[in-house]
Structures are given as C-alpha cells and as structure tokens.
Amino acid sequence: MKSLKTAVLACALVAPLAGTANASAAAYPVKHPKLIANPLYEAGALPTTTCAEKPVRRGNVKQARAYIDAVIACLGETWGKHLTDAGLTYEKVKVRHMNKLPKKWCGYETDKTDSQGWYCDKTRTLVFQVGKSWVKDPSDLWLFSVSASMYGYHIQNLVGIADAYEAEPYGKKAELHEQNRRNSLQTDCLGGAFMKSVWPLEGRTTKDWNYLMKLLEGDARGEERLYGKTSARRSWIKRGFATGDPGSCNTWTASASKVA
C-alpha cells in the first residue's frame, strides 16, 4: 500500500486557493483526473448545519469515545447531504474503538503512541484508540478536529481520490513522499471545511480556534516528509475553514512549496 491512513497521533491563515495554483510549479506534477479535477471540487460549499459537542471530563475515555461518535454522526449528515445533492455516491463510515490497536490493522503497521486513529479503505472503517494524551485536556477542539480530518479519508475513498492516489505512478522516493503529503494535507483541509460549516460551535470562540492552531506545534503524528510541516498543515486547515468549500482543498495541483 502506498499511504498510511493515519490521524494525528498525539496532543491535542488564508492562503491562495489550491485550484488556482500552477501545476507546473510542482516538483512532481500529478496527472490523474480524479485527483486534479475531481467532481468534489465543483460541488460547492458544504451545507451550513449545527453540531453539538458532548461533554468530556478530563481523563474520561468513555466520554471521549462518545464525543467522537457524535462528531462522526454530524460529519455523516453534512457530507451525506453534500455528496448526494451533487449526484455523488455516499456511504456511511463504520466506526470502531479499541483499547489497544494490534501491531497490524488493515494491512498497516500501527503506531506505539497511546492515542491514534486510522482509516481502512477496503472496509470503510475508522478506528480510534483514545489514550491519555487525547483526554488530558479535552476542553480544546482537538478531538473535533481529529474526527473531522480523519473523515476526510472516507470522503477521498467515496469520490475516487483514494483509488486514484494509489494508481498515480511515482519515481523517486521523494515523489512518493510528496504525493503522501498532498493526500494527507487534503484531509486536513476537508476537516477545516467541515468545521466552518458548523461554526460557531455553541460556547466556542475564535480563541478556541486559535488554540487549536497552536496545538499543531505539539503534533507528533509522524515525519514531516510524509505529512507536511506544521506551517503547511495550518495553511490547509485554515484554507478549508476560510471557505467551507471542498473545492479549495485541491492539494494535487498546488505548487510544491504549498505541500512541503
């Protein structure tokens, strides 16, 4: 398998639209039509809805799981309506919670961190391992953001981006890494677009959003060459949040500097 469908593993901006970027400026231009010109990009902004956050006490894993499930339900309602209204296929995601993930899940080598999330393309399943790092201070937006960005992998799967990504050829390992960053950063942007569609959340302010951006500094989910620098992740999340439109999340035609 080419990619690791993994979420942010630990803790818990407006840039030019990716669709206007010069594809020739990329170090390794992507050519698959399902990546660079997917119908998702033309479907418009996500419908504006509301999403109520469930309470989570510090250290309470059971409540954190219920919180994630509630956010996933909101995501399903929003994305389900958006895709079906656009004439695209929609299917609900499956969700599992595990106390400890096996060393291998869905063909992937899982991480040793205490909190992590993964998506399996072939079974369309999200799995979460909620540990101490995710419930140390659950008052922030970290769990919400993780759920939203992880759901982005499901959307990529539904609209053909996941298959196209796997089929896109590459030469050097650096090209593979860049493709992986484009794939991962797109889920960050899609997560940001969803957050915009339900913003403001009850009781939340810009201060909460700014703190979430700060939390990315402590993100230990993986190596930058695979998932992008903090500055790139912030930029794409903010891009999605600024527009609420998946069309602004076309990382595949962005210049190499935007996905570094």
Cα(1)–Cα(118) distance, integer angstroms: 14
Span 124-163, pLDDT tens digits = 999 999 999 999 999 999 999 999 999 999 999 999 999 9
What's the domain range around 137? 18-259
Cα–Cα distance between 251 and 185 in angstroms, integer?
A: 7
> Does the residue 100 lie in any domain?
yes
Instruction: Tell whether the torsion through CA atoms of 233, 237, 242 and 243 is positive or negative.
Output: positive
Give 20's contacts (C-beta < 8 A, 6+ positions apart). Answer: none
Residue 99 domain-assigned (yes or no): yes
| pLDDT over 50 at 60, yes or no | yes
Per the CB < 8 A criterion, the answer to whether 195 and 144 are in contact is yes
- Both tokens of 211, joined, read 């703190």
Q: For residue 58, is it within any domain?
A: yes
On the question of pLDDT at 13 being above 50, the answer is: no
d(CA 64, CA 57): 8
Question: Domain for residue 5, yes or no?
Answer: no
Residue for token pair 């096996």: 102
Q: Which of 10-24, 79-93, 136-150, 231-245 has the lowest mean pLDDT?
A: 10-24
Give the pLDDT score at 19.
34
C-alpha to C-alpha distance for 204 and 93, rounded to whole angstroms: 27
| Residue whose C-alpha is closest to residue 119's, from 154, 67, 92, 84 | 154
Domain count, the chain: 1
Q: Is residue 33 a part of any domain in this protein?
A: yes
Q: Hey, CA dihedral for 10, 14, 15, 20, is it positive or negative?
A: positive
Q: Identify whether 42 is part of a domain.
A: yes
Average pLDDT, the chain: 90
pLDDT above 90: percentage of residues in the chain:
83
Q: Which of the two residues, 1 and 110, has the higher pLDDT score?
A: 110
Q: What letter represents residue 246's amino acid?
A: P
Tell me if 80 is assigned to some domain: yes
Question: Would you say residue 133 lies in a domain?
Answer: yes
Angle, CA of 151, 86 and 44, to the nearest 5°: 75
Alpha carbon 179 to chain centroid, angstroms: 15
b/e map 34-48, b = 16+ CB within 10 Å: bbbebebbebeebee
